[in-house]
Amino acid sequence: MTGPASEQTRAAKACQRCHQRRVKCDASRTGTPCSRCKEKGFDDCHLIQSRRGTYDRKKWRARSQQTGESSTGTQPDGNPRTASGTARLEGLQQIQQRYSSDVEIQSEADAAGNHPGFDRLAVSPPNRSASNGMQFDKQSEVSNPANARASSQNEPSWGTVFGYFLEHRKDLLDKATITYIGESFPLSIVLEDLKEGGSLLLHHPGPPSTPSEAEKTKEEHPAHMQPEDLGLLQSKRVFECPQEAILDALVSVFLEDVYPTYPIVNHAEFHEQYKAQKIPWLLLHSICFMAATYCPLSLIHSAGFSGRSEGRATYYKKAQILFDSGYEKNKLVVLQSAILLTFWGGNPNDFRNHYTWISTAVTVAETLGMHRSTAATNLPKKDKSLLKRLWWILVLRDAFCGALFGRPLRINLAQCDAETLTEDDFEHTLNTSDYLHSLYQIQVSKLALILRETINYRFNHTKRFSPDSEAAVSFLHTQLQEWRAAVPAALDWRRLSTCNIFSQTLSLLYDHHIIFIHLRQPRAQSLQGSNPHLSTNVDTSLNIIRSAAQHIASQASSLVTRSVAQRMPHEAFAAIFAAEVVLYTQMKHSDPAIAQLSRAELNLCQLVMHEIRDFWDAGPWVMQLFSTLSAKVTADEEVSAALTLSSFNEQTTVTVVSANGVNEHRAAATEWDPWPLHDMFSSFLDPHSDPMFGRNPADYPLFGSDFVG
């Protein structure tokens, strides 16, 4: 039996941190800071506001007991309903008073980023090495045992987010911390009372991701990362960047070759961040991944890689590791990086591929409300333009990757009202030559919309065989012709003596759309009366598809001879793939002239695939696929020709006089010649390899002014 001296005594008053953790505190006895805060290294130790002694504890206990009895069915004398209601009300008031101080303290802690049970993580910035990039400072892990636990002080709750935008709803929006509230969200009903100007605002300011995001450099790690996670990332060498000269060259390639077709950053802001070494690690590795796709091979070797594939894979893996670890919390940076990573094709058994990254990027973009109109928001103009460019790049990638691999479209445009791109959205760039790429972005985004409609109308399992299928083809074809008629003169491939990369890409994509619109369409008679641009000689979709494929093949030879295939946007390569599909089917045509011509044109497309095999992840397997299929067709032709020749020799003989005057029976002089059947030599030895051999140019409207020019 223990005596009175051994009884536990309750501390008179605890500090805020010990009170939150529900542990014993000696602050009232020894003063602040208490022994626990001293041990943890916290100087901000303050006592809580205790209510002890400010109310009658006996009366409160009696009322609480009375409330408990009423809940179990025991009623006091008098009116039971009135007495029970009064007791419950008074009891609830007492409970509310009792916990009011705790709630206030907890709210202050949440606002400051402190959560019960977690201490603040202090991570020392890494040391900078000229040769190894960023080096993690392991001394901070060993010297401070308090770093063994993670901190979540920078992870705002939904209550904090909602409270922030209600309090700061009139502030200028930050493009990286927008809080989007859609109409179907029940909270939007409450926000109806807050709308101004008669329209409901959908984009609201969100709390900053970190207290000092603007001052953050690459040497500083996010406070939410645990030391053991940082150590793992360090072992993966994700905090190492190329040598300064190589990194400068890679960034230059990104700005010169990638940015014009995929403008995911504000040029001026990016330039300033790069000079100040404030480019986030995730975005930096993603940029190096794209630059390694387009840069000269000599730069790849200078960076220490054996080939382009190794360089691309190295930077991609670093970006993926950072993404999976949750290292980067800036939503805009995550979106920009995910868009660049959509150019990673992956392996057949790898679920991390272009489609995965597109889905991730779309999710983040919708979180920021990019799919909705930003006209009524108080975003700076340059930030509005950036968000629009990012959104329409996503629409483009979603449409072309979905069409290429037969995947469902990730973006539902029926729920989107984002404004279309205009030339004003590109006025914040630095170079005067960006005029062409701004026109290209506007036109290719329109083509993406037509391709999306083509997928929905032509390859939707519920609409493919509908009665209005031919009407859909006519509608889509008319849309495409209207787009072509409105192409600016600077990008019109029919009027330019020498096509630039942007105009040639649009030309390839136009033929690509022609193939997709008319693919698997048995008849096209309905097009003649409804579309004045169609030639009267075109009576079937097969002729249209064949002409489009031939036009793509003719451009393929130009890409190889001019050595510009490696600089083309990746969407253009999908047109080469579509043309190869059509040309392969024509290789088996009953007309030998058409079959031989198609074989020669397929070989031209294969040359392009060979040129881009290290640039476009689908290139190697596309090239291998059609090489195998072509070899099979060749083998079948050889067997068929051998059987025909054998039968012909058995039935047809002629009598000739030999040199010694003896009559001999020999096979007819039309013996089988294997040369024209060879893949490469047939295009040189067979006169039918000429695209216009024995043909009327008017029969091929893709080369005429009435169709494509």
Q: From the CB of residue 202, how many other CB atoms can be counted at a distance below 10 Å?
A: 21
Instruction: Assess contact for 547 and 701: CB atoms under 8 A.
Output: yes
Task: Indicate the range of 167-181, 217-231, 440-454, 679-693 predicted with least confidence.
Answer: 679-693
> Is the model's pLDDT at 21 over the cut of 90?
no
Say which range, 21-25, 226-230, 629-633, has the weakest mean pLDDT: 21-25
pLDDT at 171: 58
Work out the pLDDT band at 664, boundaries 50, 70, 90: very low
For residue 462, pLDDT beyond 80: no
Minimum mean pLDDT among 17-31, 146-160, 592-606, 628-642: which range?
146-160
- What distance lies between CA 475 and its chain's CA centroid? 30
Contact between 559 and 533 (Cβ < 8 Å) = no
Question: Which carries the bigger pLDDT value, residue 682 or residue 98?
Answer: 98
**pLDDT band per the 50, 70, 90 thresholds, residue 182:** low
> Is the preceding omega at residue 33 within 30 degrees of 0, hence cis?
yes
Residues composing the chain: 709
DSSP-derived letter for residue 663 is: E
CA dist list (Å): 428 to 287, 385, 399, 425: 20, 9, 27, 7
- Distance CA(507)–CA(514), nearest Å, equals 11
Question: What was the pLDDT predicted at 78?
Answer: 46
pLDDT digits (tens, 9 = 90+) for 342-384: 999 887 778 888 889 999 999 999 988 888 888 878 888 888 9
What are the tokens at 199? 């329209």
AA identity, residue 14: A
Q: Considering only CA atoms, which of 138, 121, 114 is closest in space to residue 226? A: 121
Q: Specify the DSSP element, H or E, that contains 148.
A: none
Q: Looking at the predicted structure, is the pLDDT value of residue 508 above 50?
A: yes
The predicted model gives 386-395 an average pLDDT of 96
More confident residue, 129 or 583: 583
Contact partners, residue 672, CB within 8 Å, separation at least 6: 641, 642, 645
Full DSSP string of 216-277: --TTSPPTTS-HHHHHHHHHTTTT----HHHHHHHHHHIIIIITTTS--S-HHHHHHHHHTT
pLDDT of residue 170: 58
Give the range among 17-31, 459-473, 598-612 with minimum mean pLDDT: 459-473
pTM given for the model? 0.67
State residue 22's pLDDT score.
73
* pLDDT confidence band for 560 (50 / 70 / 90): confident
Confirm if 175 and 354 have CB atoms less than 8 A apart: no
pLDDT at residue 677, as a whole number = 35
Report the pLDDT value the prediction gives residue 40, as an integer from 0 to 100: 79
Q: What local confidence, expressed as pLDDT, does residue 699 receive?
A: 42
* The amino acid at 303: A
66: confidence class by pLDDT, cuts 50, 70, 90: low
Read off the tokens for 303. Answer: 């960076």
- For residue 505, pLDDT over 60 is answered with yes
pLDDT at 666: 42
**Taking 80 as the threshold, does the pLDDT of residue 276 lie above it?**
yes
Mean pLDDT, the chain, integer: 74
Residue 197 has pLDDT above 60, yes or no: no
pLDDT for 682: 35
pLDDT of 375 reads 81
- Reply yes or no on whether the pLDDT at 588 is more than 80: yes
Q: What is the mean pLDDT of residues 49-71?
A: 60
Place 52 in a pLDDT band, splitting at 50, 70 and 90. low
Q: Is the pLDDT of residue 199 over 80?
A: no
Mean pLDDT across the stretch 603-617? 93
Backbone angles phi and psi of 657, in degrees to 5: -100, 125
pLDDT of the residue at 26: 86
Paired residues of 91 in beta bridges? none
> Is residue 388 over pLDDT 70?
yes
For residue 503, what pLDDT is reported? 94
Cα–Cα distance between 226 and 222 in angstroms, integer? Answer: 9
| 205 — pLDDT class (breaks 50, 70, 90) | low
Distance CA 531, CA 554 (A): 26
What confidence score (pLDDT) does residue 32 get?
85
Least confident of 94-103, 128-137, 323-332, 483-492: 128-137
Q: What are phi and psi of 205, to 5 degrees?
A: -70, 140
The token duo for 181 is 């509230």
CA–CA gap between residue 80 and residue 87 (Å, rounded) = 10
The residues, any chain, with a CB within 8 Å of residue 575's CB and separated by 6 or more, are 508, 509, 511, 512, 552
- 55 vs 422, higher pLDDT: 422
Q: What is the pLDDT of residue 117?
A: 35
Task: List the one residue out of 558, 554, 503 whose CA is nearest residue 690.
Answer: 554
Give 480 or 707, the one with higher predicted confidence.
Answer: 480
| CA within 13 Å, CB half, 197 | 7
What are the pLDDT digits (tens) for 392-427? 999 999 999 999 988 899 999 998 989 999 999 987
Tokens of 26: 């000696």
| Alpha-carbon span 441 to 392, nearest angstrom | 9
Contact 295, 138 (CB under 8 A): no
Look at 89-98, 219-228, 598-607 and tell me which has the smallest mean pLDDT: 89-98
Give the pLDDT score at 369. 86
Q: Cα–Cα distance between 478 and 493 in angstroms, integer?
A: 19
Distance from CA of residue 510 to its chain's centroid? 24
Give the ranges where 406-493 is alpha helix by DSSP (H). 434-458, 469-485
Structure confidence at residue 109 as a pLDDT band (50, 70, 90): very low
pLDDT band at 120 (very low <50, low <70, confident <90, very high): very low
- Residues 24-44, mean pLDDT to the nearest whole number: 83
Cβ pair 589, 618 in contact under 8 A: no
Model pLDDT, residue 55? 59
pLDDT band at 248 (very low <50, low <70, confident <90, very high): very high
In this predicted model, which residue has the larger pLDDT, 37 or 532?
A: 37
pLDDT class of 264 with cuts at 50, 70, 90 = very high
